Amino acid sequence: MGLKKYENAIIIVGLIISFIGSLIMVYLFVWHHKDASTNMALDTDAVGDYGSFIGGVVGTILSILLLYLTFRLQREDSENNSRVYENQILNDEFFHMLELYNDIAERFEYYNDKKAVFNKGKEALKSLLEEMYDNYDAGTNFNQRRKVAQYEYMNVIHSHYETAAVYYRTIYRIFQIIDETKCEEDKKVEYAKIMRAQLTSTELVMLRYNAMTLYGLKSKQYLNSYNILKHIQPFDLLEMKKWRASLNIQEMSLANMTLQNVRFLAKDLLTGESEKLYKQMKDNRYCLRIETNDTYSKLMVMVSIDNTFVTPKYSQMLWLDNYTPDELEDMMNYFFYDTVCLSNFNMFNKRTDLHFHHIKKIVPDGLTTITVSVENKKGNPIKLSN
């Protein structure tokens, strides 16, 4: 855009110079013949000389400008043709690879230990994830939980290694094609969203754990750049099994919705899209408040439960009552750490620069407050996935 403005300025300056030059020559001609009588015949040779000079100088300038405009139009036409060509190549390659991806996904097969249950395709992947849940035994801290989840993922996926390897390479290749094309950024995002829409919630979880292994290290870049794991549900993660067990299906759906809203609101705050430095979800009994500071180097999530109010029949946050204060503190602490660090594979915020803190306050028959927070010790803004 800056180059185009510069080129337009050159053209305008050239036209102005031509116009001013013509006026000057006309003025000089009039001044040179100011003593001539109006009845006196004009010197045709002089007029011809002035006309030739004006035509030569101005005509040359205009010719150069017209030639330049011709070249520019040809260049723009060539760029447009090249853009159309690149878009067509991307479109053809993308949908060919998308068809290949769907074919490979259908190759997954699952039998239980008794060989009695059979699933195929993405349903087989869902069964594999359920097996991972069954086998998962949570660790006692953040890193242990993550490592155990990675171990269970590798243990289960190993029996399907040949299909899984081709499956993940195909997905990686699709995002590589999108990323390396010369198309505009919004076109890349458009195709990435099409691919993301093909992925089930099970596949999102699988992609996350695969990216945490040596086999999926290169995929982290694309998963972050195009925010592929944006819609992953918090309670779909193996690490949340401990707290997932306390919820029924409806409550888990509400819990996922609540925690996803926390992430989206926190993202809005940290990107400066909100005029305020806090946002909250609130009703009579529950309050979830998210805060930052004016440098976006701090982020805090506070959960408040007012025990003077009875549990409402309908509330997005009624699932919070399924936990003791200690359990709720433990769960929010892990969810917060996952949101800031693990969800982007520790690529957005340097872990050693972060200080996490959590505190619980309980007033008997009054207000229970759980606060989790993080601060960048160097004062740098905290970044979350888009």
* Structural domain includes residue 100: no
In terms of domains, do 152 and 217 share one? yes
User: Quick one: pLDDT band at residue 24, thresholds 50, 70, 90?
Assistant: low
In terms of domains, do 275 and 379 share one? yes
pLDDT digits (tens, 9 = 90+) for 29-41: 555 555 544 554 4
Measured between alpha carbons, how far is 199 from 228 in angstroms, rounded to an integer? 9
What's the structural domain count of the chain? Answer: 3
In terms of domains, do 190 and 317 share one? no
252 with 244: CB under 8 angstroms? Answer: yes
* Structural domain includes residue 97: no
In terms of domains, do 257 and 383 share one? yes
110 with 119: CB under 8 angstroms? Answer: yes
Q: At what angle do helices 142-157 and 122-135 cross, to 10 degrees?
A: 130
* Structural domain includes residue 240: no
pLDDT digits (tens, 9 = 90+) for 273-300: 888 999 999 988 999 999 999 999 999 9
* Structural domain includes residue 98: no
* Structural domain includes residue 79: yes
Reply yes or no on whether the pLDDT at 331 is more than 60.
Answer: yes
User: Quick one: pLDDT band at residue 14, thresholds 50, 70, 90?
Assistant: low
pLDDT digits (tens, 9 = 90+) for 101-116: 999 999 999 887 766 6
pLDDT digits (tens, 9 = 90+) for 298-323: 999 999 999 988 878 788 999 999 99
In terms of domains, do 112 and 19 share one? no
In terms of domains, do 318 and 189 share one? no
Reply yes or no on whether the pLDDT at 1 is more than 50.
Answer: no
In terms of domains, do 219 and 254 share one? no
Reply yes or no on whether the pLDDT at 127 is more than 70.
Answer: yes
Q: Give the model's pLDDT for residue 91.
A: 92
* 61 or 335, which is more confident: 335
Range of the domain at 224: 106-232
Q: Give the model's pLDDT for residue 141.
A: 79
* Structural domain includes residue 297: yes
Q: Give the model's pLDDT for residue 78.
A: 60
Reply yes or no on whether the pLDDT at 269 is more than 90.
Answer: yes
In terms of domains, do 280 and 382 share one? yes
List the single range of 19-28, 75-84, 125-134, 148-157 with lowest mean pLDDT.
Answer: 19-28
